[in-house]
């Protein structure tokens, strides 16, 4: 039995920096990884998808170049080269993370799959053969999630894609059908439409992005439809079948019976935690009814000394939240600070074009929480920078507490929406009022300058 001060299972965006910092603090640390260093973000999520989305944006500009007075007679999309570019970026990020850990004194990288054998003991089936038993008083779980496969009749008989496998295609789908209209479905839908595929998105919810306000969701739907994506919401898929090289879906949507046939099917209905494969019951670790690890506000499970970071604990499934989990744990365990995940801000961004940047409460959630609110809205057609660049889709929205004039939440659906949202996030954290933002000096003509105009709408 090999003994450590700390064991980190999984090398995602929380696990890697935590393992390095613990080792640098003098803790003999092991990190166990069954696949590649970097977790979902670097290998299957943020890094590869945003690399490909950048290529889609280039194709969109070229295809619509006449809007800017430029005529491009013809162009060709080479998906194989797009994938090669994506892989190069991923390998660079992954290699950098791996080298950083290999250089860290006191940190052992163990490649293999771990399972609990007792409360603080693990057996690792090593990637290159054999097994190793390890133990530590502190264990950190950062194993993330996998694509969720819904119980749709016939789905197990067809060649469907996931968010990982779709990025390995080297030939464009003639008709990509997407099951699910969350961030993954919408981002891939717009991407492949811009690259030249026909795209149809099917979702059982009547509203896209169920956690957003209705006006925001409706505006996003309009963006997708303007991109040329066919949307079917309020749809119930009854059967999926493979017919030769095509996939046929039978569904009902808004009282209509429909049959949709596509060349490829992407299943993007959510994620499922990688928890049960660890055999947590052998360590006495509790899971919730969806298979996520139960943790308290200090990220500790019901077993003292065993902690969880990132998506596998449920809650907001974002890279930056996983990274913040690491900061909270390190400060608490090494610096002895009283840190907690309670009431932390949760900013996020959907990388459609235009982006949707979000922070804080929606209008609906604020009203349900009992706030007396006022709402400021500004269409992007009234934003100088948007007009100048020819990117006027979307709108800006801020929810303000009428009692103290401070921001409760913001939604920015527009070009560089995530960047503008981040400015507003800083304002929220600093307690800056709507009046102060209305009168603040911003450089002209930035997108952020339109924050002035957004809050001027409250005067009308």
Three-class DSSP labels, 361-411:
CCHHHHHHCCCCEEEEEEEHHHCHHHHHHCCCCCEEEEEEECCCCEEEEEE
- According to DSSP, the β-strands at 395-401 and 373-379 are antiparallel
178, β-bridge pairs: 201, 266
Residue 254's pLDDT is what? Answer: 84
- According to DSSP, the β-strands at 355-360 and 407-414 are antiparallel
Residue 393's pLDDT is what? Answer: 97
CA distance 347 to 359: 4
Which is nearest to 391 in space by CA: 408, 373, 416, 369? 416
**What residues are labeled active site?**
444
Structure tokens given for 258: 């429909």
* Biggest alpha carbon–alpha carbon distance for the chain: 72
CA distance 168 to 79: 9
Residue 42's pLDDT is what? Answer: 95
Residue with tokens 């919408």: 186
Residue with tokens 């999520």: 45
Query: How close are the terminal C-alpha atoms of the chain, in Å?
Result: 71
Residue 63's pLDDT is what? Answer: 95
Per-run averaged pLDDT (10 residues), the chain, 460 residues: 97 96 98 95 95 97 95 93 98 96 97 96 96 98 95 95 96 97 96 98 93 97 97 95 95 92 96 96 97 97 97 93 97 97 95 98 98 98 97 98 98 98 98 98 97 94
* Contact between residue 53 and residue 186 where contact means Cβ atoms under 8 Å apart: no
Structure tokens given for 192: 């492949």
């Amino acid at each position: 039995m090999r003994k450590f001060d700390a064991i980190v299972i999984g090398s995602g965006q929380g696990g890697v920096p935590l393992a390095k910092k613990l080792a640098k603090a003098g803790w003999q640390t092991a990190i166990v990884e069954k696949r590649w260093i970097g977790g979902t973000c670097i290998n299957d999520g943020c890094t590869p998808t945003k690399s490909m989305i950048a290529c889609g944006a280039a194709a969109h500009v070229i295809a619509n170049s006449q809007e800017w007075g430029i005529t491009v007679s013809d162009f060709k999309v080479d998906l194989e080269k797009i994938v090669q570019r994506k892989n190069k970026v991923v390998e660079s990020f992954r290699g950098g993370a791996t080298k950083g850990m290999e250089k860290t004194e006191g940190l052992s990288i163990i490649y293999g799959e771990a399972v609990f054998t007792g409360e603080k003991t693990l057996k690792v089936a090593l990637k290159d053969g054999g097994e190793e038993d390890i133990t530590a008083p502190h264990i950190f779980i950062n194993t993330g999630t996998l694509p969720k496969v819904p119980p749709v009749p016939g789905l197990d008989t067809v060649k469907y894609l996931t968010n990982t496998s779709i990025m390995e295609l080297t030939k464009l789908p003639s008709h990509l059908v997407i099951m699910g209209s969350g961030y993954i479905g919408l981002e891939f839908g717009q991407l492949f439409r811009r690259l030249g595929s026909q795209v149809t998105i099917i979702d059982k919810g009547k509203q896209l992005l169920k956690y957003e306000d209705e006006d925001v969701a409706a505006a996003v739907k309009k963006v997708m439809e303007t991109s040329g994506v066919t949307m079917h919401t309020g749809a119930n898929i009854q059967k999926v079948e493979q017919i030769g090289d095509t996939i046929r879906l039978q569904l009902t949507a808004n009282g209509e019976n429909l049959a949709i046939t596509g060349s490829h099917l992407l299943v993007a209905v959510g994620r499922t935690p990688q928890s049960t494969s660890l055999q947590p019951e052998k360590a006495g670790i509790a899971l919730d009814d969806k298979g996520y690890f139960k943790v308290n506000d200090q990220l500790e499970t019901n077993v003292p000394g065993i902690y969880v970071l990132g998506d596998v604990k449920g809650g907001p499934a974002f890279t930056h939240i996983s990274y913040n989990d690491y900061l909270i744990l390190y400060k608490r365990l090494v610096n002895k600070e009283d840190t907690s995940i309670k009431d932390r801000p949760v900013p996020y961004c959907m990388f459609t074009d235009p982006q949707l940047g979000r922070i804080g409460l929606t209008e609906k959630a604020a009203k349900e929480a009992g706030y007396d609110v006022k709402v400021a809205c500004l269409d992007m057609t009234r934003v100088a920078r948007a007009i100048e660049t020819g990117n006027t889709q979307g709108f800006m929205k801020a929810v303000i507490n009428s009692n103290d004039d401070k921001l409760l939440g913001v939604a920015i659906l527009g070009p560089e929406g995530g960047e503008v949202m981040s400015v507003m996030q800083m304002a929220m954290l600093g307690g800056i009022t709507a009046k102060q933002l209305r009168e603040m000096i911003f450089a002209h003509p930035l997108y952020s300058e339109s924050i002035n105009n957004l809050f001027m709408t409250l005067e009308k």
